[in-house]
Amino acid sequence: MAVIELRDVAYSYGGGELFSGLSLSLAPGSFHFLTGPSGAGKTTLLKLCYGDLVPTSGEVAFWGEATTGMARDALALNRRRIGVVHQDCQFLDHLPLAENVALPLTVAGRHHEAAAYLPDLLGWVGLTRHAERRPPELSGGERQRAALARAVIMSPEVIIADEPTGNIDWEMSQRLLSLLVELNRMGKAVLIATHDLNLIRAAKAQVSVRTLRLKDRQLIAAGADL
């Protein structure tokens, strides 16, 4: 059973149709890259994948269950199984970084587990000494790394990342990729939207990757050169 499935999905925005007849199935343990020109709808497609947007037509299913008519509580529970790294790294600016990273555990009523995960996680993304700083005090790259830490703290079954290496250097992007590959080897499905072809090539060297390209309102398999 696919962890996330888009069936014949269309999405209109501001009177125009962004894409239509789009289908996608993320199997457990799969690794997908999503590429395409700016404005093609990559972020929108990802938002449909984690239930932040509702398709104009077609259907989105989480673990085989259609989200159409799904109760908001059920949707919230499904979101806990999906780790998301947003392009704009949304945080609660009044809370310190450590509490932001632990937020998924907190809202799930598992805040007591944070102490067990936080030190290693912050250490891995190189933010240990920033644990008590507020998000507005961090650089773009630091925020991106914090977003990644927050996305994986619940050990989700799917990781969805929107341009996760957009604001970080090559070394950090390789560390980030290593984590995602490691999570994928643990059986997590990974979907990354990116323009970074080097990242895709580096991933292909380590795991079996499928690259999709969103262009002209259609989702197609990218060429072998990727």
| Interface positions with other proteins (CB under 8 A) | 50, 52, 72-73, 76-77, 79-80, 84, 86, 90-95, 99, 103-104, 106-108, 111, 150, 154
**What's the rounded Cα separation, in Å, for the pair 106 and 50?**
20
Q: Least separation, in Å, of the C-beta of 191 and other proteins? A: 16
Residue located via tokens 């149709």: 17
Task: For other proteins, give the closer residue by CB, 82 or 203.
Answer: 82
Task: Give the number of residues written for the chain.
Answer: 226
Structure tokens at 166: 């957009």
Task: For other proteins, give the closer residue by CB, 163 or 196.
Answer: 163
**What's the rounded Cα separation, in Å, for the pair 99 and 209?**
33
Q: Least separation, in Å, of the C-beta of 108 and other proteins? A: 6
CA distances from 16 to 3, 6, 10, 11, 217 (A): 29, 20, 11, 9, 11
Q: Least separation, in Å, of the C-beta of 174 and other proteins? A: 26
Task: For other proteins, give the closer residue by CB, 71 or 224.
Answer: 71
Task: For other proteins, give the closer residue by CB, 41 or 104.
Answer: 104
Q: Give Cα 220 to chain centroid, integer Å.
A: 20
Q: Least separation, in Å, of the C-beta of 77 and other proteins? A: 7
